[in-house]
Amino acid sequence: MLLSMAWETYESDKRIEGFSQQTLKAYKLQAKLLIRYFKDIKLDTITTVQLKEYLSKSSETLKLSSLAHRIRFMKSLFRWSHEEGHITKNPAAKIKEPKTGKRIPKYLTELEIEHLREACTTSMEKALFEFMFSTGCRIGEIVLLEKSRINWSNRSAIVRGKGDKEREVYFNIRCEIWLKRYLEQRIDSDPAIFVTERSPHTMSIAQMRYINKRISNRAQINKTIHPHQLRHSYATHLLNNGAPLEVIQSLLGHEKSETTRIYAQLSGSLRQELYRKYF
């Protein structure tokens, strides 16, 4: 089987398994780079040594996190190929990811959140900002969310996260007010909860990021603001108010507890309080 055919079949299988569009898009880029390097050769002719040479050259220009992502793709592709019987030996089996170290997530202070809140000028911006912060949703989950998935009676929404898994998220009264105001002002029939300002249609991730950047520029906060920082800030806010990590894990939609546990390393009022209480 040729490398290109292996990728196409792998992609189809993973789509059926429920891999997210974002993951498949990222893996497609890795597949193109792999094929560009090796050419479209037969899958069973690729050796471990050749894969390591490819990774060695990649390491000259990639960050450790990007290199780890490349290795995860390769291991997934060749493991699947071996399990499906397309190759008799998995050349990526013994290749290990580099140790990248756990970095504490960057989050926003309460004062920075208020500056961003004040920088929102339209009902759409206010609704989007409040929804991002009060639900802790990933930007890709908000893009996919439709109005019909909102439950106003208990201020909740059903979002579709990684692996096509659904979970219930909650928003506060402030978010409800601005979200209703924004939706009442819309005259389009698009089912998406957030639409573009011109020729209304479902916002893309890039468009939503642009709006987030526009708000942060107005706020004049002396740091680069990314949508995922609002998610980190949401988790930090919960932690500082005493929420157990298992609750935060459920609300964030983390599959592994280790992913959530990194928030326990955050310095803040909760850690100071616990230190004074127990020391």
Find out whether 159 and 141 touch, Cβ atoms under 8 Å.
Answer: yes
Catalytic-role residue among 14, 162, 209, 271: 162
- To the query of whether residue 263 is one of the catalytic residues in this protein, the response is yes
- To the query of whether residue 147 is one of the catalytic residues in this protein, the response is no
Angle between helices 227-240 and 205-219 (to 10 degrees): 70
Rounded CA separation 227/213 (Å): 9
Rounded CA separation 241/263 (Å): 13
Q: What is the DSSP string of 222-275?
A: SS---HHHHHHHHHHHHHHTT--HHHHHHHHT-SSHHHHHGGGG--SHHHHHHH
- To the query of whether residue 182 is one of the catalytic residues in this protein, the response is no
In angstroms, the Cα distances linking 54 to 5, 37, 60, 71, 103 are 20, 8, 11, 10, 27
Catalytic-role residue among 160, 231, 232, 237: 231
- To the query of whether residue 228 is one of the catalytic residues in this protein, the response is yes
Containing H/E element for 166? strand 166-170
Rounded CA separation 201/15 (Å): 25
Catalytic-role residue among 75, 138, 232, 237: 138
- To the query of whether residue 231 is one of the catalytic residues in this protein, the response is yes
Catalytic-role residue among 209, 228, 261, 271: 228
Find out whether 188 and 200 touch, Cβ atoms under 8 Å.
Answer: yes
- Phi-psi region at 244: left, alpha or beta (left = phi > 0; alpha = psi -120 to 50): beta
Q: How many residues does the chain have?
A: 279
- To the query of whether residue 69 is one of the catalytic residues in this protein, the response is no
Residues identified as active-site:
138, 162, 228, 231, 254, 263
